[in-house]
Structure 1
């Protein structure tokens, strides 16, 4: 919030950081000059009202004398013109009063909506000019929560949005408390080509002020369900400019890079609609050190009865190449 006029701060009505309601007085600026100007405007209205009243009485007398033939038509028109001029002057006075009343109102800075204050940027006696920052007021309930999702989810998101069922559960990042429910109100009109994500915004009731402006949140969007997906750990899916890939651990302990289609991501699990079959193993760590055909040693490797190795999901270094990798079975 900023000042709209030039004046000195007369008083600050509330403390830093409190919750306020719409219309609550926050800051009063010195209004002595404005009040004097309004007094002058009211006096001018009274004076010019008297002039108009006198002009109307003169018009009545003149009109009667014109009808009797004692006055000429010109004298009657002059009397009417005097009334019109007096009325115009009175209207100017009233307009000046209205303008000065608006100026007076600007000296009272009030809360435009319910919210929570920050810290005041001014103190009593400070001179402010138009645009001088006064204080920041943020709406505390409801709040808008902005987040992004992979563009692969866009079709499902749009269908759920059209059906009115696109909702979100959110909580402060790292907070294991009860999630707050909300509705997704906005899906951006363009995909971020660098990150491959689409921006969304949800409206969330925040009655206790748990969420504050600029805070990081954890959001889970409820957009619907898809059947027939292959589920992998989210960390196994690597984004690229042309889509997403996974590093598949083959039976000969080498990796192959495979392009996949991501259908859904929910927390630490990602659903793939194509590119991978249930039972195949995917690398979950150290992908940046691997290339097509890289030799790996599976984490937690142990011999089985059939001579094949099994994975425990703990990364170990490959003494042969110096790379590190971990693998998990696709479920």
Structure 2
């Protein structure tokens, strides 16, 4: 092959390559221009608005109810019960007679003391008259006066012993189960029954020492029991222990709960919710929050365009999150379809009037 033929072949190959390159560059640039000029399709998402809501910081605990006042009814003297005016569950008022002991001997002792007092008063009157005429000495008058005082003291003692044979309610409350029957002989200090003041109940519970600085007298609590499903009993913290148990690292506290209808008995197990604080916060559904590396953000819709906005979150409660910084009340945020949304994306919302079901998946 001659040199001229070789040069001709090279020139033809070069021309073909140049033409192919020019053709490829022309049509590729046209396709890119068309793609750039074609508008992006709006992303279908679901949204929610930032709103203000009261959020409660609380802690859970368990405790047991106690009567506001609870005592054992016991006689102060021994004797036979001749009257028993009590029955289990009976409501009594302060001063009501609960039981009566045989008081015939006490009545006789009282009558004797009254007679002795009358006698001493008469003796004192005669001695005073004699003293006016110096018929008796001053020492005799002093001795009779002392005997009169002794007779008065004896009368007071007999009256108290008679009173002790009548057993009365020291405060208003509810009678427990009887421990003795009518006609039985009881000894001093033997329990007849119990008396509980259930107009209010005390709930004693324990909390970890980390909460010692956050609890205060007067804070509200809500108590619930399995015996009363769906019902909550409101109360307040009434006392806080000054010591922390070195073993459990917990401290005791007490709450008082009004119980005017006597619904709650003493000794019932209760679940408590202690309200530590209440505050008004801007909140969003927790689905709106995106965590990425060291940043936390949401997508805010402004004129149907997604705008990425960093936020500072706070307390979480019931599927909502408090926003401490970054949003304002009324802002619209994306809660579904987040994985397809980018800063600057065009946004479209489902048409609630459309008959076609459109499902927006958070992970799509």
Same-fold call, TM cutoff 0.5: yes
What are the residue-to-residue correspondences of 1:1-331 with 2, within 5 Å? Answer: 1-62=73-134, 78-157=136-215, 160-161=216-217, 165-225=218-278
- Structure number with the higher strand fraction is 2
SS across alignment from 1:224: strand
- Secondary structure in 1 aligned to 2:277? coil
1:225: how far off? 5.0
Superposed CA offset, 1:234-289 (max 9, x none)? xxxxxxxxxxxxxxxxxxxxxxxxxxxxxx9x9x99xxxxxxxxxxxxxxxxxxxx
Which secondary structure does the structure 2 equivalent of 1:190 belong to?
strand
**Aligned equivalents of 1:23, 1:124: Cα separation in 2:** 20
Structure 1 residues 174 and 197, CA gap change in structure 2 (3 angstroms) = farther
CA distance in structure 2 between the partners assigned to 1:28 and 1:184 by the alignment: 40
Deviates most, 210-219 or 167-176:
167-176
Query: C-alpha offsets along residues 2-59 of structure 1, whole Å, 9 cap, x if unaligned?
Result: 2211111111012222111111110101111111000000000111111000001111
When the two structures are superposed, what TM-score results if normalisation uses the length of structure 2? Answer: 0.55
Q: 1:128: how far off?
A: 1.1
Shift of 1:61: 2.2
1:203-253: CA deviation from partner (whole Å, max 9, x where unpaired): 22100101111111122112215999xxxxxxxxxxxxxxxxxxxxxxxxx
How many equivalent pairs are there? 216
**Structure 2 regions of 5+ residues with no counterpart?**
1-72, 282-314, 320-338, 340-364
Distance 1:88 1:10 in 2: 38
Stretches of structure 1 that go unaligned for 5 or more consecutive residues are 63-74, 229-263, 270-304, 306-331
| 3-state SS of 1:139 partner | strand
Q: Is the 8 A contact 1:11 1:124 kept in 2?
A: yes
Structure 1: distance between partners of 2:221 and 2:143: 66
Deviation for aligned residue 1:87: 1.1
Distance in 2 separating the partners of 1:14 and 1:135:
9
- Describe the SS at the equivalent of 2:214: helix
**In structure 1, C-alpha distance between the alignment counterparts of 2:169 and 2:184, rounded to whole Å:** 20
Separation (CA, whole Å) in 1 of partners of 2:103 and 2:196: 27
CA RMSD of aligned residues (A): 2.8
